[in-house]
């Protein structure tokens, strides 16, 4: 059975929506209470003279997202901007470079860049708490692959946080932008 272009696009679009919903659910998941997770606000050591500290409770912990960003991402997917000839060539090399089973294009200690052929876009999993550094490292590597700034925005490329990083950022004032800077 063969699918026409419209059917293929709709299937890809639905997969993207499902992936975005999965990412949102992961980001809204409350922090597990396992003792193996690192703590970033150490409790003071109680002394005989001081009362025992009361625990801090974070109600409805979640990562803050840019308002309206979901709509911008969907618009970028639905209304893709054309790439220049050099950006198309660089993008083609990246898609061919992707591992056939995992879709992984580039893996470092700070990020994992993947190509999703079903939706025909790239996603980057952030693996370190210094999110801006991981995003910058990803963009710099893509520029080394001969993609322009416009080409990076129009790949399209989106970022998401690993579960570990997401858990570490819950309850902070961090606001996560899933798009590359300037996009």
Full pLDDT tens readout for the chain, 183 residues: 445 555 554 455 445 655 555 555 555 555 444 433 333 333 333 334 434 443 433 333 577 787 888 888 888 888 899 999 999 999 999 999 999 899 999 999 999 999 999 888 899 999 999 999 999 999 999 999 999 999 999 989 999 999 999 999 988 888 899 999 888
pLDDT of 14 reads: 47
Residue 44 counted as domain residue: no
Residue that has been written with the tokens 């803050």 in this structure: 64
pLDDT of 65 reads: 80
Residue 81 counted as domain residue: yes
Residue 43 counted as domain residue: no
pLDDT of 51 reads: 42
Residue 36 counted as domain residue: no
Overall number of domains in the chain: 1
CA dihedral (130, 178, 183, 141) positive or negative: positive
Residue 109 counted as domain residue: yes
pLDDT of 62 reads: 73
- Per the structure, the complete domain to which residue 67 belongs is given by 5-30+61-176
Residue 155 counted as domain residue: yes
Residue 42 counted as domain residue: no
- CA distance linking residue 36 with residue 181, whole number of Å: 33
Strands 64-65 and 175-176: parallel
**Max Cα-Cα span within the chain:** 77
């Amino acid at each position: 059975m063969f699918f026409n272009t419209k059917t293929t696009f709709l299937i890809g679009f639905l997969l993207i929506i499902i992936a975005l919903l999965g990412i949102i659910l992961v980001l809204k998941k409350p922090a597990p209470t396992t003792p193996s997770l690192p703590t970033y606000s150490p409790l003071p050591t109680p002394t005989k003279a001081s009362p025992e500290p009361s625990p801090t409770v974070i109600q409805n912990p979640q990562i803050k997202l840019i308002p309206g960003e979901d709509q911008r991402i969907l618009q970028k997917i639905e209304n893709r901007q054309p790439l220049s000839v050099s950006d198309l060539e660089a993008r083609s090399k990246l898609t061919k470079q992707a591992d056939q089973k995992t879709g992984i294009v580039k893996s470092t200690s700070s990020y994992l860049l993947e190509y999703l052929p079903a939706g025909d876009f790239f996603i980057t999993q952030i693996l370190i708490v210094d999110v801006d550094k991981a995003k910058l490292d990803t963009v710099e590597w893509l520029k080394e692959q001969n993609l322009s700034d416009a080409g990076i925005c129009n790949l399209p490329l989106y970022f998401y946080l690993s579960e570990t990083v997401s858990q570490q950022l819950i309850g902070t004032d961090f606001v996560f932008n899933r798009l590359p800077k300037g996009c």
